[in-house]
Structure 1
Amino acid sequence: MRLERLNYNKIKIFLTIDDLMDRGLTKEDLWKDSFKVHQLFKDMMNEASQELGFEAYGPIAVEVYSLQAQGMVVIVTKSTDSQDEDDDDYSDDYIEMQVKLDESIDIIYEFETFENLIQLSASLYQQGVKGGTVYSFNGRYYLLLDEHQSVSIETLIAVLAEYGSSTTLTIHRLQEYGKEIFKDHAISDIKKYFLS
C-alpha cells in the first residue's frame, strides 16, 4: 500500500493486487459492501493517520479507480464544509462515505525521466512489444499501451512497474493537455532513434 497526500483535504492510496490478496480480497470484492472491505478501509485510514496525519471523520468522498491488472487507486477527500459544533451526535469514529467507482481499461504508466522510457523500450522490444503512444505532461512522460500485446498483461505490467509507476491520469487529460511525442509505435521508434 502506497499513500500520498494530494492536498490538505485529499489523499491517494495505491493498492496493488498483492495488497488485496494479502487481505483475502480481489478487485471485484471492492465493489461489494462487506466486512473485509470495511476492515481494509479502516486499515487504510489508520495508516494515513500515522504516515500523513490525515484524520478521516465526518463526511468524506471516496473514489475508487480500478487500473488494468495493476490494482486500485483510492482517492479520499474530506468535506471542506464547516461543521457545526452540534454534530456531537456522532462519535469521532463516524464516517459518512460517498463512494464513486470507476474502471480504466487503458494501461498508462508514468516515468520521471525519458531515460527510464528508453530502458523500458529496450526490454519491451525484446519481448515483441512495439506499439504505444508517449506523452509529455507536467515534466513527466506517460506511455499508453492497449491490452492487446504479444505478452500477457501480467508480464507487461511487471516490466512497466520496473521503470515507472501507474497513474490515475486519463487518456483524455493527456490528449488535451499533454504533448504527444511518439504516436502508435512508440516502443519501436524509441528503439530506432535512441538504441540503434
Structure 2
Amino acid sequence: MKIERLSQDKIRIFLTYDDLLERGIQKDDMWREIPKVHELFSEMMDQAYTELGFDASGGPLAVEVFALPAQGMVVIVTRGKVTAGAEDRLGEDDEETDEDIYEMEVTMEQSDVVMYAFRDFEDVIDACKQLKNAGLTEDGRLYSYNGKYILVLEPANIESSRNNAVIAVLAEYGEATSVTYAMLEEYGKVIMASGAVREVCTYF
C-alpha cells in the first residue's frame, strides 16, 4: 500500500491486488458495503495519518476508486469541510464518530488501459524491443510524467491471449503505476502519441 499527498485535503492510495488478497478482499468487493472493506478503509486512514498527518476525522470524505487492470486500485480521498452542526454532533457523542468520519461518497471507475512506469529510458527501450520481437504489440503511447516514462497500452490493440505476456514484459522492466489515465492526460507530456513500441524500436 502506497500513500501520497496530492494537496492539503487530498491523498492518493495505491493498493495492489496482493494488498487486497492479503485481507481476503476480491476486486469486486470494493463496490460493496461490507465490513472487510470498511476495515481496509480504516487501515488506510490510519496509515495516512501516521505517514502524512492526514486527519480524515470530523468531516465528509469523497472517495474515488479507480480499478486498473493487472496493477491494482487507486483510491483518491478528498476531505470535505466540517459544518458547524457536524462539529456539535461529534462533540456530543464520541461513540458515533466512526459514522461521521467515514461519511463516504464513493465513485467507482474501471479502466482497461494498461500503464507501466519506467525510471530510465533504457528500460523503455528494452521493454519495447522485447514486446516487438515477441510479436506481442507495436502499439502504445509514451508519456513523461513526474520524472518517469509511462507506457500506455490499449487492450483493444492486444490479442487477449497475449495480455499476460505483455504485462509480464512490462513488469520485468517497469513497475505498475498509481497514476490514473485522466491525470496522465492532464499533467503528463506526450512523447509518442501512437505506435510507441514500434517508434522506440525504429529510432533506438
Shared fold per TM-score greater than 0.5: yes
Equivalents in 2 of 1:114, 1:140: separation in Å?
9
Equivalents in 2 of 1:27, 1:82: separation in Å?
34
Residues 65 and 168 of structure 1 are in contact (CA less than 8 Å); yes or no, is this contact kept in structure 2? Answer: no
When residues 186 and 3 of structure 1 are mapped into structure 2, their CA distance, relative to the original with a 3 A threshold, is: same
For residues 57-136 of structure 1, the aligned pairs below 5 Å read 57=57, 58-81=59-82, 83=84, 85-87=87-89, 88-89=91-92, 91=94, 92-93=97-98, 94-95=100-101, 96-128=103-135, 129-136=137-144
Which shifted more, 6-15 or 139-148? Answer: 139-148
- Which letter does structure 1 place at the counterpart of 2:40? L
When residues 122 and 173 of structure 1 are mapped into structure 2, their CA distance, relative to the original with a 3 A threshold, is: closer
Q: TM-score, normalised by structure 2?
A: 0.80
CA root-mean-square deviation: 2.6
Q: Once the two structures are aligned, what percentage of the paired residues are identical? A: 43
Equivalents in 2 of 1:131, 1:73: separation in Å?
25
More helix by share: 2
Unmatched 5+ stretches in structure 2: none
The count of aligned residue pairs is 193
Equivalents in 1 of 2:47, 2:146: separation in Å?
29
Question: Which residue of the partner structure matches residue 8 of structure 2?
Answer: 8
- Which letter does structure 2 place at the counterpart of 1:188? R
Moved over 6 A (4+): none
Unmatched 5+ stretches in structure 1: none
Once the two structures are superposed, what CA deviation does each residue of 1:47-89 show, in whole Å capped at 9, x if it has no partner?
Answer: 1111111111121111101112211000011114564652424
Q: TM-score, normalised by structure 1?
A: 0.83
Match of 2:154 among 146, 149, 158: 146
